Structure 1
Amino acid sequence: MRTAPLGGTGARPGGGASAGARLVVGLVLVVVVVLATACGLPRDSQPRPIDLGGGVTRPSSTPSTARAGNAARVVTLYFVERNRLRRVERPVASEVTLDQSLVALLAGPTRDEQQRNLSSAIPLDTRLQGLRLNGVVLTVRLSRQINQIEGVGQKLAFAEIVFTATAFVNVDRVQFEVAGKLVAVPTDDGNIGTVERSSYSSIGP
């Protein structure tokens, strides 16, 4: 009697090894699923950001993250009293940013500050439209309402902004864009494109 080879004449070469490999792969997949379930991995239908925790924030190149030179948590603003600048420090709950300071300045003095004879030469509807810091030179973009005032009042208005901005340690000089155009602003020495505190010595605090 003839005997057939083990596995039968109809078996493909290597068929036994292939079946064994499939069995191993299947077992590995089962183990992976079990481990994933045990670890409590969430099943999301779409990607989601990972919460790094610890207050991690993205680094920013904008001046809005600049901090005031003084250690106390105050916002330092400059308003007007009898045609001269006066320094005002308001307590705040968190660290002060440059854009927050300028927005607070444009909003004008509080009622309590007004009772102390402080005012602002900046027209109330003037809006801050952007900031750009290049080295130590800050470009302040303002709405066209800043042009509603002229003469000494306009000089005081720009001086308020310059002194408030340069209260921050990384700002030395300021230039202005009004309605999208760089402008020369009034100073003690006439209209100048880039100004600093010394440009307003005659009306400084």
Structure 2
Amino acid sequence: MTRPALPRPRWLRSLLVLPPLVLLLVAGCGVPVEDTPRVIEVGTPSRVATAAPSAAASGPAAESLYLIRDGALVAVQRRLPAEPDPQGLLTDLLRGPTEAEQDRGLGTALGGQGVVASVQLLGDTAHVELPAGIESTGRNDDVLAFGQIVCTLTSRAGITGVVFTQQGARIGVPLPDASLSQVPLRAADYATLIANG
């Protein structure tokens, strides 16, 4: 006389379903199945890439960029293979400080590549077009940001002033005394913010 089969406990039925389910999930996520175990070498983690240049280039030409340290504008000299045009100069400024410059405590008040749409040289005045939606709040960071642009561009031979526009119309930008100006600006307008030495 055979004994009737006892029903399997629910937990045992769950365990029997689990291996095929795991195989289905692994196959579905795109992870290839390997026949032999693979050794994974652990090394030092790589550094996260940033928009900032890693080192200043060298060459016969020079550019002056104005970065910030302790709430002041600081002139930084970089050597380049050739002198950049105004757009190239502004692009270098917007990339921010190199790692070596960061180690010296230098930073930027500019938020990156989207801050400036373009720069065009008309006569000896650089016309900097700002994207729509960027508004000046008059805060110290804004004053420093505009100071960085003005001092950097006017450090280049042939540029005596900088005006800022949005959709081609001049806009007022903040000065250190909290006033707004639409006239061509020079480094002298931000002289109180420039660090000595």
Q: Which TM-score band (shorter chain)?
A: 0.5 to 0.7
Letter in 2 for 1:97: D
- Checking the alignment, whether the CA contact within 8 Å between 2:116 and 2:129 is kept in structure 1 is yes
Sequence identity, in percent? 27
Query: Distance in 2 between the 1:112 and 1:192 partners?
Result: 34
Residues 35-54 of structure 1: matches in 2 within 5 Å?
none
Which residue in the other structure is 1:122 paired with? Answer: 110
Which residue in the other structure is 2:176 paired with? Answer: 188
- Checking the alignment, whether the CA contact within 8 Å between 2:138 and 2:174 is kept in structure 1 is no
Query: Distance in 2 between the 1:94 and 1:202 partners?
Result: 31
In our comparison, the structure showing a higher alpha carbon Rg is 1
Match 1:197 to one of 183, 187, 191: 187
Query: Distance in 1 between the 2:134 and 2:157 partners?
Result: 26
Deviation at 1:93, TM superposition (A): 1.9
Match 1:159 to one of 135, 139, 147: 147
- Checking the alignment, whether the CA contact within 8 Å between 2:136 and 2:173 is kept in structure 1 is no
Compared CA separation, residues 94 and 169, structure 1 to 2 (3 A): closer
The 3-state SS of whatever aligns with 1:126 is: helix
- Checking the alignment, whether the CA contact within 8 Å between 1:81 and 1:118 is kept in structure 2 is yes
The 3-state SS of whatever aligns with 1:123 is: coil
Letter in 2 for 1:153: D
Which residue in the other structure is 1:84 paired with? Answer: 72
Query: Distance in 2 between the 1:149 and 1:109 partners?
Result: 24
Query: Distance in 1 between the 2:138 and 2:113 partners?
Result: 15
Task: Flag structure 2 segments of 5+ consecutive residues without an equivalent.
Answer: 1-58
Q: Deviations over 1:113-137 (max 9, x none)?
A: 1111001001124343222223222
Which residue in the other structure is 1:32 paired with? Answer: none
Letter in 1 for 2:180: N
The 3-state SS of whatever aligns with 1:177 is: strand
Ranges of 4+ aligned residues in structure 1 off by more than 6 Å: none
Residues 59-138 of structure 1: matches in 2 within 5 Å?
72-138=60-126
The 3-state SS of whatever aligns with 1:164 is: helix
Query: Distance in 1 between the 2:180 and 2:69 partners?
Result: 23
Letter in 1 for 2:194: G
| CA-atom RMSD in angstroms | 2.2
Deviation at 1:177, TM superposition (A): 1.5
Query: Distance in 1 between the 2:99 and 2:143 partners?
Result: 24
Task: Flag structure 1 segments of 5+ consecutive residues without an equivalent.
Answer: 1-70
Query: Distance in 2 between the 1:123 and 1:78 partners?
Result: 14
With normalisation by structure 1, the TM-score equals 0.59
